[in-house]
Amino acid sequence: MNSLRRFLLVSVLSALMLLNFIAALHGYRSSMAEAENLFDQKLASMALQLSSVPLRTSNNAPAPDDDNMVFQLFNAEGKLVWHSVHAPDQYIAANEGFSENNFNGYRWRTLSYFNFVNGHRIMIAERLDLRYRLAESVILESIVPVIVVLPVAGLLIWLIIGHGLKSLAVLAGILRRKAADDLSAVDVGHAPGELMPVIESVNSLLRRLNASFERERRFSADAAHELRTPISAIKIHLHNLRDEYGDDNESVLSLEHDVDRLAHLVEQMLLLHRTTPDHYPAKFERLSLAALSREIIADRYPDFVAKDQTIELHGVDGEVNGDRFALGILIQNLISNASKYTQRGGSIKVDIEVLQAGTRLRVVDNGPGIPADVQTRVFERFYRAGGDRHNSGVSGCGLGLSIAEHIAELHSASISMTVGDNGCGLAVIVDFPIGTPAIKTQKSLTLGRYGERK
């Protein structure tokens, strides 16, 4: 039985029915004995009354009776001088006092009583089946109400158990609504004592998970931060090697390519760490997506010029309630990706629209695009469509879109991608809802302009 409430209901009702059955059985036997005693007292009283009735010595007319009781009266000489209509002529009882005998086709409870004053003997009998039937009807009338109220008792038990398990339902609801990255302690208010061990175990598990994730985040951030210095040193040495071996030396070019890739990976890991709610302040403000995009395009314009690419910005201001640093990283990653994977001479367009449901940011290129079957996977960390053998030949670390999705989630926005304009290229779409909620942070790190750390 997989329902605790149903198990408790069946168990309590079964125990209640068993106890009622035992009590009813005991009550039935006691009641039957008491009823039999009362019936015997009735027979004895009637025998005493009959024994004192004055009679003629002979030819007494039979007395009327009913089917369930008969009597005989014998004088001092042992002659039957009076009897009921259905009583036989022979002795209906062989023993003195109470006994059970058969006659007239029934089992009878008989009483043989001798009156020492006048020498009369009275024999009186009552049908046992009728006695039992009458006694059972009386007993059943007292048992039936107990059986009838069992469904009502079951309903009450069901409601009481449901009320008792309410705290468990509240705990289940809290855990069900808890976000994947919410490792704060569970609080269900005034929980019963039986539920406290479960709550304490859950909170202990959440604390251990939080500590483990914190160690992982700190290690990644520290490792990425510490790698910056040796990477800078390597780049200086590469510059010296290019002076010594020439700009077209294949080994130097290959090493420079790998170092740039490593530096990009380190920067992306640092950005990923710094965009978590625990490590940057939630300085939400009304800002213009167009102005922010314009600033980022200006910063990265040399990259577009180097590849002979054109970039256009269309649309309205597109004001949203967001964090300048985080949204700057999001737009920068989307535009940078579009530039990297679009061929030389290609075009990139940034569209900002104000819709009824919010504000939409679109970054569209006419590059090779991404197959539809992997468009959801590219948001996974370190996943790259085509792996290291991407058709574009551009190296990446697979963190840019993951960071963009993370920032979109922090702003309650949705991010998706589809085919670009005219059925070619790629369009990455970010929909910001109206009234973006503020981010809940536990720690703060002062950040100024995006990309800088103070």
- Give the mean pLDDT of the chain: 81
How far apart are alpha carbons 109 and 90 in whole angstroms?
16
Query: Which long-range CB contacts under 8 A does 330-334 form with residues at least 24 apart?
Result: 330/403, 330/404, 330/407, 330/408, 330/430, 331/289, 331/292, 331/293, 331/296, 331/361, 331/363, 332/296, 332/299, 332/300, 332/450, 332/451, 333/400, 333/401, 333/403, 333/404, 334/363, 334/404, 334/428, 334/430
HSE-CB of 372 using CA atoms within 13 angstroms: 5
pLDDT at 445 over 80: no
Centroid of chain to Cα 4: 13
pLDDT attached to residue 290: 92
pLDDT attached to residue 352: 93
What is the C-alpha R_g of the chain? 50
Asked whether the whole model's pTM tops 0.75, one would answer: no
pLDDT in tens, 234-271: 888 888 888 888 777 888 888 888 888 788 777 777 77
Residue 235, phi then psi, degrees to nearest 5: -65, -35
- Spell out where 25-152 has E strands: 69-74, 80-83, 97-103, 106-114, 121-127
pLDDT attached to residue 359: 92
pLDDT at 116 over 50: yes
Residue 397: name the closest of 214, 218, 180, 227 by CA.
Answer: 227
pLDDT in tens, 372-405: 888 878 888 777 766 555 555 566 667 888 888 8
How far apart are alpha carbons 351 and 290 in whole angstroms?
9
Mean pLDDT computed over 420-431: 90
Q: Give me the torsion for CA of 19, 23, 28, 29, rounded to 10°.
A: 110
